């Protein structure tokens, strides 16, 4: 056989092998698709989560929560929709993802050595510490041995149980109860009601929920910083895991992850115990006089009345005769010229002030460019209500010039304080402004709005926690009691 024929046979052989590989690959892809391919074909990403202010919850505006927003961002990245399931307990979430009953468990899950033996984890997206929580009016425990003086209760299946076991090695008298019915929110409610003495919560959880239960306090940390991540079924198929790795790398680079953390957590740190208590008192003593007016005015502008009420509280603490050193007056603190421009001659009259304030806010909201997404456009409209649209626009321009995103409140609020510095305000169209004030203004209103929303809606946390208390049954380990309603 000459070399020419040998070359032809070699080429045909290689071509045949290549074709066979392509066909085999196509057959494998069609009949044995990867998990990621199955998700894309179905168009649905199935998520296990839990109802919690830090993860997933429903309010009058629909569903919300840090995990909810983060998951939907990932679903958009994949080009699919997210379907959320909420198993009854945290322990069941872990069991269900281990047995491959969903694609991802996105429930504020801490990465631990024990869990890594049975679960796969995405790259971490947030860092927390585990903290002992007690109630104001009771002695503050200063160290682990002090916890023996009361009832410490934690949720079954959480990393808190493992942390307590580790703590017990140094504190032999430490003992606790395990609740296999309630979530951490439910235990925090029981603590607020003085039905237990202590519980354990992650730092992000207590940051949000102590606004609703202001008498709850942090005693001390019981863990080093820990990382939160999504959990997945442990499988040789790494397609979904690789997709989450690419996704988190992307949103860390483009700062979308930082923006979500800022949106859901950082503003909540500004609410003090004193302000919280005073606000609650005024909800009872002052708000009833004006709530119907807030509702009517907000309805006229197609807005949430609680947002308008929150603005009113930040402006005047709901005092009809409030007056500032600069001459703005009334519940919504309108200037004489603004009130007149809006069509209200008597700006002191509560109905005029509230209706005028709602209209003025709606006008600010309508001026925010459509390129600014919700809820950032709401925060920017609030800033414009406080400082004026011109100064907000100056801050957005400075933000863009400094490499930030003028459509993101997180970036704009970092540049608003520059308006009080000559180096920067001399470059702007509208000049000097006390730029730090609208930042605090917006954060306060967000907290007041969240509290009003929570206090005026059905409280699923309390509904869950107020179920008849289950019986206790002792289990072999003498330091632990499992709470089981089936007994």
pLDDT tens sequence across 92-121:
999 999 999 999 999 999 999 999 999 999
Task: Give strand pairing partners of 202.
Answer: 130
Largest CA distance in the chain: 108
**Per-residue pLDDT, 376:** 94
What pLDDT sits at residue 482?
36
| pLDDT number for residue 3 | 60
Report the first-to-last Cα separation within the chain, whole angstroms: 86
In a 3-state reduction of DSSP, which class is residue 138?
coil
Give the least confident one: 187-196, 295-304, 462-471, 475-484: 475-484
* Side-chain half-sphere exposure of 292, counting CA atoms within 13 A: 2
- The dihedrals phi and psi of 56, each to the nearest 5 degrees, come to -155, 125
The predicted structure's pLDDT at residue 28:
54
pLDDT at 26 over 60: no
| CB within 8 Å of 169: residues ≥ 6 apart | none
Instruction: Output the CA–CA distances (angstroms, integers) from residue 321 to 231, 343, 387, 443, in the order listed.
Output: 55, 20, 22, 25
pLDDT value at 232 more than 70: yes
Q: Specify the range with the lowest mean pLDDT, choosing from 220-234, 267-281, 306-320.
A: 267-281
Domains 35-127+228-270 and 130-224+465-483 share a fold: yes
- Give the pLDDT band (50/70/90) at residue 456: confident
Residues with catalytic roles:
315
The arithmetic mean of pLDDT across residues 464-484, rounded, is 41
pLDDT at residue 23 is higher than 70: no
232-270 per-residue burial string, b: 16 or more CB within 10 A, e: under 16: bbbeebeebbebbeebbeebeeeebbebbbbbbbebbee
The larger pLDDT score, comparing residue 139 to residue 457, is at 139
Strands 81-85 and 44-48: parallel
CB 277 within 8 A of CB 75: no
Statement: residue 484 has pLDDT above 60 = no
Task: Assess whether pLDDT exceeds 80 at residue 431.
Answer: yes
19 close to 25: Cβ distance less than 8 angstroms? no
The SS3 of residue 441 is helix
- The answer for residues whose C-beta is within 8 angstroms of residue 267's C-beta and 6 or more apart is 442, 443, 446, 447
Question: Hey, what CATH topology would domain 272-367 get?
Answer: Lysozyme (1.10.530)
Query: Mean pLDDT across the stretch 401-410?
Result: 94
Give the start-to-end residue ranges of the domains of the chain.
Answer: 35-127+228-270, 130-224+465-483, 272-367, 389-456
What pLDDT is attached to residue 19?
Answer: 62
Give the residue from 345, 324, 380 showing the smallest Cα distance to 353: 345
Percentage of the chain with pLDDT > 90? 67
**CB neighbour list of residue 269: distance below 8 Å, 6 or more residues apart:** 207
Q: How far apart are CA 261 and CA 270, in angstroms?
A: 15
Is residue 362 over pLDDT 90? yes
To 5 degrees, how large is the angle CA 60–CA 61–CA 63? Answer: 100
Nearest Cα residue to 183 out of 161, 214, 154, 212: 154
Per-residue confidence (pLDDT) for residue 486, from 0 to 100: 32
CATH no. of 35-127+228-270: 3.40.190.10
pLDDT reading at 299 higher than 60? yes
What does the radius of gyration of the chain's CA atoms come to, in whole angstroms?
28
Structure confidence at residue 455 (pLDDT): 84
Q: What mean pLDDT is predicted for residues 388-414?
A: 94
Question: How far is 184 from 229, CA to CA, in rounded Å?
Answer: 18
What is the model's pLDDT at position 62? Answer: 77
| Residue 30 pLDDT greater than 70, yes or no | no
Question: What does the angle CA 236 – CA 240 – CA 246 come to, to the nearest 5 degrees?
Answer: 120
The listed CATH number (3.90.1150.10, 2.40.50.1070, 3.20.20.100, 3.40.190.10) that belongs to domain 130-224+465-483: 3.40.190.10
* pLDDT confidence tier of residue 165, bands split at 50, 70 and 90: very high
Q: What is the DSSP letter of 147?
A: G
Above pLDDT 70, what percent of the chain? Answer: 87
Give the pLDDT of residue 164. Answer: 94
pLDDT: is 7 or 311 the higher one?
A: 311
- Structure confidence at residue 460 as a pLDDT band (50, 70, 90): low
Higher pLDDT, 312 or 469: 312
Lowest mean pLDDT among 57-71, 252-266, 306-320, 455-469: 455-469
CA distance 475 to 177: 11
What's the mean pLDDT in 410-433?
A: 92
Mean pLDDT of the region 429-446: 92
């Amino acid at each position: 056989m000459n070399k020419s024929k040998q070359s032809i046979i070699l080429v045909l052989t290689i071509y045949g092998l290549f074709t066979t590989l392509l066909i085999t690959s196509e057959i494998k892809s069609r009949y044995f698709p990867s998990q990621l391919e199955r998700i894309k074909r179905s168009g649905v990403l199935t998520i296990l989560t839990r109802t919690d202010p830090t993860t997933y919850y429903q309010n009058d505006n629909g569903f919300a929560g840090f995990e909810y927003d983060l998951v939907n961002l990932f679903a958009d990245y994949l080009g699919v929709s997210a379907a959320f399931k909420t198993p009854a307990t945290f322990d069941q979430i872990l069991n269900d993802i281990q047995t491959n009953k969903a694609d991802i468990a996105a429930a504020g899950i801490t990465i631990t050595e024990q869990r890594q033996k049975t679960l796969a984890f995405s790259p971490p997206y947030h860092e927390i510490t585990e903290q002992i929580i007690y109630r104001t009016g009771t002695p503050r425990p200063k160290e682990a041995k002090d916890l023996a003086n009361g009832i410490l209760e934690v949720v079954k299946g959480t990393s808190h149980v493992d942390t307590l076991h580790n703590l017990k090695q140094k504190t032999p008298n430490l003992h606790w109860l395990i609740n296999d019915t309630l979530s951490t929110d439910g235990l925090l409610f029981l603590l607020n009601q003085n039905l237990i003495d202590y519980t354990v919560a992650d730092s992000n959880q207590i940051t949000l929920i102590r606004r609703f239960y202001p008498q709850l306090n942090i005693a001390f940390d019981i863990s080093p910083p820990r990382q939160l991540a999504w959990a997945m079924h442990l499988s040789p198929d790494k397609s979904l895991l690789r997709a989450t790795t690419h996704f988190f790398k992307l949103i860390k680079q483009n700062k979308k992850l930082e923006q979500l953390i800022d949106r859901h957590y950082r503003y909540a740190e500004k609410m003090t115990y004193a302000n919280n208590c005073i606000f609650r008192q005024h909800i009872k003593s002052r708000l009833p006089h004006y709530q119907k007016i807030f509702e009517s005015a907000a309805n006229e502008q197609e807005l949430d009345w609680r947002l308008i009420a929150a603005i009113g509280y930040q402006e005047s603490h709901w005092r009809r005769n409030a007056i500032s050193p600069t001459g703005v007056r009334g519940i919504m603190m309108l200037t004489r010229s603004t009130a007149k421009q809006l069509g209200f001659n008597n700006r002191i009259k509560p109905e005029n002030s509230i209706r005028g304030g709602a209209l003025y806010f709606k006008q600010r909201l309508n001026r925010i460019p459509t390129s600014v997404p919700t809820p950032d456009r709401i925060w920017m409209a609030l800033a414009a209500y406080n400082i004026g649209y011109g100064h907000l626009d100056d801050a957005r321009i400075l933000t863009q010039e400094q490499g930030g995103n003028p459509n993101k409140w997180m970036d704009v609020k970092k540049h608003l304080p520059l308006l009080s510095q000559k180096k920067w305000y001399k470059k702007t169209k509208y000049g000097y402004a006390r730029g730090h004030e609208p930042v605090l203004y917006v954060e306060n209103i967000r907290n007041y709005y969240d509290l009003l929303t929570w206090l005026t809606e059905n409280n699923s946390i309390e509904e869950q926690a107020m179920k008849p208390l289950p019986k206790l049954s002792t289990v072999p380990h003498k330091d632990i009691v499992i709470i089981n309603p089936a007994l």
